[in-house]
Structure 1
Amino acid sequence: MRIHDNTIFIPGATSGIGLALAVRLHSEGNHVIVGGRRTELLAQIARQYPGIDTVRIDVADAADVDRAAAEVLERFGGVNVLITMAGLMRAENLRDRGFLPTAVTEVHTNILGPLRLVSAFVEHIVAQPQATIITVSSGLAFTPMATTPTYSASKAAIHSFTDSLRLQLAGTGVEVLELAPPAVQTDLMPGQADAEWAMPLDGFVDEVMSLLPSATREILVENVKPLRFAESAGNRDDLMAALAHQAH
């Protein structure tokens, strides 16, 4: 991916990995547009980081994605990079039928959200002379955590979808990349922001930025590789058991 002189839309970037990546990409000479549901956070980002633009968007709402996409393309017509960052992660007890509402919410955000975004932007992106679509999965797409089953499954779906998207866009000039983070010190889950088992946010973004220029398929920091390649290494069951224990 070209690391500068892009116009980049990042929905779901009002905090955590998304915001940190948006700020770093902006500092590299890109025009960055951050999307999110909460207008107060968007206003705060605009004040704190002059030059970063913001657009309200709820990726769980199909009509709102269409509305926001039209706004983005009208205001910033040269968008050539889309990073589908939005995601929710919640614990679920599959022995209790009450897990279903949480699961449905995660599916709407984590699977349908990125699909809606790709649908809304793909024709515009394909028409750009140099463009990139980056989806965001997780190390848990490959080695799931039993306490967050729908999140893990949703990220596996995004991995599969990204592989198909890459093949269908072959020959168009659009790069399709998949960012698969490990656990990073953010507020994605309670207690994760300060957890010793999670990777420091700054270190994660440093490594991602160093990998972006040469990435061709997946963007994998060193910390995520044990999860990504556990099946081929033959220790996937052991890692799943360790993840389940870590969550308690």
Structure 2
Amino acid sequence: MTRSRLLLTALLSLAASTVIAEDRYKVVRPVIIESGIAGQWMMQLGGPVRGQVVRRVEQGQPMRMTQPRRLKRQLAVEPQAQMQQAAYHPERPAVNAIEPQFLPQTLAYETKYKPGTIIIDTNNRFLYLVMSNGQARRYGVGVGKPGFEWAGEHKITRKAEWPEWHPPKEMIEREAAKGHYLPVSMEGGEANPLGARAMYLGSTLYRIHGTNAPWTIGYAVSSGCIRMRNEDVVDLYERVKVGTRVIVL
């Protein structure tokens, strides 16, 4: 009898240990996504998983999450490419990213101004080149940021290809106060903020020019100049001449 009881006790202990061991490996530890890296995780997720992450992060809750199968395969094959994706900054989108309405197009446009006139609608971020037959060529532009808006009428007094950039003294001082140190001058090229072409307006410091930051088209971001994508400013440059009338609204 004693042997039977000892054997039964041993069997029960063994079964309990097995259950405890199995339960231990069933526990899923929550992955807590800190606010600083949440954006990087969400760049790699999609569908309901991404929505779940967003809700949990906003509510300050821990998030149980497993990697999508597709992502696991990519990590196994392309670890370096995946690391680069995690370092992507959403505030600086892909170079070619632009809202469709800001792409060049020819459309109906009734105006009192003669063909060949440039009209810039700063509120809606559009530049119109008036054409004949009640039409215009429309381009998306970036305009002056708050405090740097302006309106008026000028003529194109000079045109330049891949222009040099000479930041005004006021701009250099203003940016230095923010900890941004601008060069006294910069030769033309792809890194130059004036981009591929520049059309100078009257005797002012304002220009219609290209940009090295095409993702800013459609926004109020400049110090008063009208900026365009490089391919768009080249197109406009070939269509206008010195003396063209420019109306800024």
- Into which bin does the TM-score normalised by the smaller protein fall? under 0.3
Alignment TM-score, normalising by the size of structure 1: 0.19
Q: Larger Cα Rg: Structure 1 or Structure 2?
A: 2
TM-score calculated relative to the size of structure 2? 0.19
